[in-house]
Amino acid sequence: MTTDHPRIDAGTAPAIDTDSEVLIVGAGPAGLMLANLLGMYGRRVTVLEAMDRLIDYPRGVGLDDESFRTIQTVGLVDAIRPHTTPQHIMRLVNGAGKVILVNNPQTDEFGWHRKHGFIQPEADKALYEGLARFDHVRVLFGHRVEDVRETADGVTATALVARPGGGVEERLFRAQYLVGCEGGKSPTRKRLGVTFEGESPSTRWLVVDVNNDPLGTPNVFLGADPKRPYVSIGLPHAVRRWEFMLHDDETEEQVTDPEYVNALLRDHVPDPTKLDFIRRRVFTHHARVAGNFRTGRQLIAGDAAHLMPVWMGQGWNSGMRDATNLGWKLAAVLSGQAGDALLDTFTSERKEHAQAMVDLSLTFGNFIKITHPVLAAGRDAAASLLNLFPSVKSYFSDMKFKPMPRYTRGVLADPNSQASGRATARLTSKLIPVLSANTKVSPVGVQFPQPRVNSRHGENVLLDDVVGNWWSVVVWGNNPKDVLPAESLEKLAGLGARLVCILPETQRGWAEQNMGDDVLVLGDHTGRMKKWFDDRPTPMVFLRPDRFVAGACLTQNGPATLDAILRSMAFTGRGAAPGRVAVPHDARSLLG
């Protein structure tokens, strides 16, 4: 990885750098994670960043379990975990300081706590430093992309670079694809002419970050105070954040004045003048989603594709979801294993959920920032009443209101008809195993759980660390080679899919002796996998590299389901599988 700025003599045409398969514009979290994923898959990547260094002040404060699963995939758990507070509890309090709602989810179905507080600059730095593991990935700071020219077989980006002696020079970079991750004002999105629909609510907020947390409480308080709604957040490394809603007549110059800030903080700390301030900044929430995430050989991800109001802490996490979805698809296309049409599924899979998170964040924000005293009193009374009902209380406490990603169009096979490229959310078969199942909700299009399992490679290990970072076929109790025909097994070999059998720990030794070395046998010593398969009439699961279920079926429907999945991803049958690249990490002992 290098940050040097090569000089091109004036009067000569810039040489074209052709060392990359993918150009990523922007060294923010989405771009850095995408570079890590592509580096893990052995792809050649250049990240072009206009600034001369990473941003070093706090921004995002919430990291969820889906993001941690991706961090685990790229082997950076040990680097990022020290900068997090697991199980970050949120309490909604009214104007009198009374708690009216608590959000404290206890679930860990994806292998990690549902919510973490975190220090974004430290996490971003870990993502950046993680790229040093890959000789074929580089980050070039001080490279501002000014123009992109696209042809049938690639893109050429023109970047302006400051000369050491003054002035600027041009550098040209050629690659097969370009991904714009430059934030909400994304020049890539604007050059493509993609719409960015939504709203920017007129409400402004003052954010205040301080060192040496004067309160010391490790969690989050959302102050639904009609006089001035506020947020108080305890973060790792003794950082405290406050956010205060501003009134229309308050100017930015006024509210960032130290004396004015101190006055806002007097209800929160005994002596605001003794605080160690990191920054004071006014911001406006934005709620926008791009009309399309891909045009030709150029794509957008992260804030360039969607802007989230801060209420649900989903801005950073939505960028991680984009990178997780796009990384394996670019790798499959670049390896020749899949056709270019696979990249169209990036929009069809990610756009709908991004919009759902924007809408939820807006709704939650409107609930908190009520300033009319009568309406605020009604809200508080309704919240107190709803807390009397355990099911409603659990709905908020366990964060069940947060829509989990469910893909209905994309790299999928319908669980009922085995149709390609789409999946209904319910199982409708009239077969007795389906009619008698505990749930009719289909697992296709959602993330597969990540329990701990035992195998010959180690005990009490997180599932993803055993099955690896590419495709897998997971079968409960059966040998995949016995329930799939030779033709399907040949296709799976071409896909690079791992054959996996999960069964009770009591049977693992027998299965390891009888199924052969080409089947990964996993012992379900916790019983969590047994319950998952017991609830669903889908003993065969086709698991994508991003841990989403592409297909799930009875074993006799396995061949048709596999064929539908391969069609949906424009599988070519050519090219080597890009997965199974070893990435040094040690996540196996965590969360135990």
Q: Which of 5-9, 227-231, 360-364 has the lowest mean pLDDT?
A: 5-9
Is residue 210 a part of any domain in this protein?
A: yes
Its pTM stands at 0.90
Q: 469-499, pLDDT tens digit by residue? A: 999 999 999 999 999 999 999 999 999 999 9
Domain-ending residue, one of 245, 264, 284:
284
310 and 215 fall within a common domain: no
- The answer to whether 519 touches 415, Cβ cutoff 8 Å, is no
Complete edge-to-edge strand list for the sheet that includes strand 84-86 = 62-64, 115-118, 84-86
81 and 208 fall within a common domain: no
What's the pLDDT at 73?
A: 97
What's the pLDDT at 522?
A: 98
Domain of residue 69: give its range: 16-85+112-195+287-353
258 and 340 fall within a common domain: no
pLDDT at 200 over 90: no
pLDDT at 343 over 60: yes
- Which residue has better confidence, 6 or 164? 164
422 pLDDT band, cuts 50/70/90, is: very high
User: Number of structural domains, the chain?
Assistant: 3
Is residue 393 a part of any domain in this protein?
A: no
Q: 24: closest CA among 135, 161, 176?
A: 176
Residue 542, amino acid: F
- 3-class SS of residue 422: strand
C-alpha span between 104 and 114 (Å, rounded):
9
Q: How far apart are the first and last CA of the chain?
A: 35
Q: What are phi and psi of 421, to 5 degrees?
A: 85, 5
485 and 342 fall within a common domain: no
Is residue 376 a part of any domain in this protein?
A: no
pLDDT at 147 over 90: yes
C-alpha span between 293 and 180 (Å, rounded):
10
Q: Which of 248-257, 400-409, 539-548 has the lowest mean pLDDT?
A: 400-409
| Strand pairing category for 137-140 and 498-504 | unpaired
Which CATH number goes with the domain that contains 278?
3.30.70.2450
534 and 551 fall within a common domain: yes
- 3-class SS of residue 149: strand
- The answer to whether 316 touches 60, Cβ cutoff 8 Å, is yes
Is residue 363 a part of any domain in this protein?
A: no
Q: 364-411, pLDDT tens digit by residue? A: 666 566 666 666 566 556 565 555 545 545 544 455 545 678 999 999
220 and 137 fall within a common domain: no
219 and 334 fall within a common domain: no
Domain-ending residue, one of 326, 353, 380:
353
218 and 124 fall within a common domain: no
Is residue 368 a part of any domain in this protein?
A: no
C-alpha span between 427 and 337 (Å, rounded):
31
Which CATH number goes with the domain that contains 541?
3.40.30.10
Which CATH number goes with the domain that contains 60?
3.50.50.60
275 and 292 fall within a common domain: no
Q: 425-471, pLDDT tens digit by residue? A: 999 999 999 999 999 999 999 999 999 999 999 999 999 999 999 99
Q: 538: closest CA among 557, 515, 563?
A: 557
Across 351-369, average pLDDT: 73
Domain-ending residue, one of 269, 284, 299:
284
